[in-house]
Amino acid sequence: MHSVKSRVARSGDQQIARTAQLAAVRATDVTSGARGVLPAVVAFAPLALMVGAAVAASDDPMAAWLSTWSIHGGAAQLITLDVVAQQPGWIAAATAGLLVQIRLSAYSTAMVADWRTAPLGLRLLAGVVLSDAPWALAQSRSTGRRGFYLGAGLTLFFAWPAMVTVGTAVGDVVGGVTAAALVPALVVGCTVVSQLRQRAVLVAATAAGGSAVATVMASSGLAFVCAAVVGIVAGLVSDQTRSRDRAEAVAS
Closest CB to another protein among 27 and 185? Answer: 185
Helix (H) or strand (E) holding 92: helix 91-101
Could you say which of 107, 165, 173, 237 contacts another protein (CB under 8 A)? 107
Angle at 213 between CA 211 and CA 217, to 5 degrees: 105
Restricted to residues 31-50, the positions that interact with another protein (CB under 8 A) are 36, 39-40, 43
Tell whether residue 251 is a contact of another protein (CB under 8 A): no
Could you say which of 26, 108, 166, 237 contacts another protein (CB under 8 A)? 108
Closest CB to another protein among 21 and 87? Answer: 87
The 3-state DSSP class for residue 195 equals coil
Task: Tell the smallest beta-carbon distance from residue 76 to another protein (Å).
Answer: 6
Q: How many residues lie near another protein (CB under 8 A)?
A: 100
For 101, half-sphere exposure in the C-beta direction (CA atoms, 13 angstrom radius) is: 17
Tell whether residue 53 is a contact of another protein (CB under 8 A): no
Tell whether residue 84 is a contact of another protein (CB under 8 A): yes
Helix (H) or strand (E) holding 33: helix 2-36
1: DSSP letter? -
Residue 20 burial (C-beta neighbours within 10 Å; 0-12, 13-18, 19+): exposed
Could you say which of 34, 111, 138, 174 contacts another protein (CB under 8 A)? 111
